[in-house]
Structure 1
């Protein structure tokens, strides 16, 4: 549910707050140019990693829908950054509506894990598009955050169900799949604690002094939800290309950040594979 509290502070650089939600972080507490500082900068995890993975996906000639999953996560990160920086209603829409559309891309990609390389499931595409259009239209009219959260929750539940179906039917990396689900779930718990216990959290924050930022639970939600979604996209790519027999490998950038590599393509000259460039799959 949406947080019941409202921060009462003087207007900052962005003027009067027009969003329908004001989170538990004190407004303009760090700088006059960012309404919610920690809630804003925590979105970096939804901006840089998906850009890098999208670029890598394009270079590796992966399916367009998998590239779009990363682009949609990027859009959510940028929208959320703008929303928490300004607390303006227009920026709130830039945050919340991409969450609906982006999750639908991921649901579609998981549901089509075992489809032929060039196959397009038009009925599923149309169904998800209609759902997103209806949610967008209704939300623009009713402007109720509870409706958005319910509509988004339906897609997340569908994604979890489809993910477990994939686990049962396809070769996969269980650690990668479960890490994404668990990370996202922990973030969801922190989000709800932040919504429902804001007065107590703010009291603890004041007592922590300089360590107060660790109590910014909505910022932790951004970090964990961003990482969880990134891992979900990564597991979708990995499982899809296991099915297509392209020998995907999970590697770590800098020893800490996972990405997908295709050794067959990278080492085709050294290992006797065909020198013909692979055709792009849509």
Structure 2
């Protein structure tokens, strides 16, 4: 049965400007079917969302003078997006043409490393920000040394091993550690039933602080759940893309363009992980203020769970409409 919506057939896949493919991984999107200048056009373009969210976060950090660690993390997110764009465009580890610079184990696979290891560097930045906060100078140096050494070890060993499972496990260990540390901090810092009362507060002030922090905690949990759900859904789609690749390629050609791009699973992975990273970094920015006991200095603007993106503002920088509609400054409307 023909596809009912207007479409045009997929062009044949083949060689392109950056051929041959020298990457140790090649995804389910067919190579060079849309243009000879991009090996995987959808996997390339979906990284624009990484770049957009990173720039949005960087601008917010600079406008509100957020913690430098958060700005560095958003710059690392920008690094992920641009690195992945270059890699999926070329699928060439060394960004060379026609095998002029042949790939051997002695040639650095810098294009592929640029795509994959940037995820490690972003998570390492958040790891340092989480575990160094409030510590002595000596402890901060030790955390920095550990984080740097771990990142360097993963970089060198992955370059030698060329095993994607090693990279994925390293990333998962770092990410899960950061999430559990952050959840622990926000629960014991903000949940009134788990923290010590401040003896200098009046009963009225203590009640206000408890209600404020409980509201913040609820919204932080929403950020956490959205982030975990986004990366989980992206990972599921990516694995389905790997398992059913031959079927998906046939369906895409049966449906035709532009509708076939809906079945580009690795592109969805880019979109969902970009969103997850953004949620995580906004959460980290807000948590840093809470760790400094400066909740009253900032507010989260997140008018709608599904149609808007959260941003942390200093009170004096809040958009006028948000300031009027946010009595507690932390409500998710």
CA distance 1:165–1:79, shift in 2 (3 Å): same
Q: Does 1:144 align with 2:152?
A: no
Cα offsets for 1:111-163 (capped at 9, x unmatched): 356x2799972222211111111111111222222222222222122223223
**Shift in Å at residue 196 of structure 1?**
2.0
Aligned residue among 72, 76, 99 for 2:76: 72
Structure 2 match to 1:199? 246
Contact preservation (8 Å) 2:154, 2:167:
yes
SS of corresponding position for 2:274: helix
Matches within 5 A, 1:1-282: 9-89=13-93, 90-112=110-132, 115=134, 121-171=140-190, 172=217, 173-210=220-257, 211-244=259-292, 245-247=294-296, 248-252=298-302, 256-264=308-316
Structure 2: stretches of 5+ with no match in the other structure = 1-11, 94-109, 191-216, 320-333
Cα offsets for 1:215-256 (capped at 9, x unmatched): 011000000000001000001111221333143222259962
Contact preservation (8 Å) 2:282, 2:312:
yes
Contact preservation (8 Å) 2:67, 2:285:
no
| TM-score, structure 1 as length reference | 0.84
Higher mean C-alpha deviation, range 140-149 or range 33-42: 140-149
Distance in 2 between residues matched to 1:81 and 1:202, nearest whole Å? 22
| TM-score, structure 2 as length reference | 0.72
Distance in 2 between residues matched to 1:66 and 1:120, nearest whole Å? 20
Calculate the aligned-residue CA RMSD, in Å. 2.6
Distance in 2 between residues matched to 1:259 and 1:117, nearest whole Å? 30
Structure 1: stretches of 5+ with no match in the other structure = 1-7, 268-282
**Shift in Å at residue 68 of structure 1?**
0.7
Contact preservation (8 Å) 1:40, 1:84:
yes
Contact preservation (8 Å) 1:179, 1:228:
yes
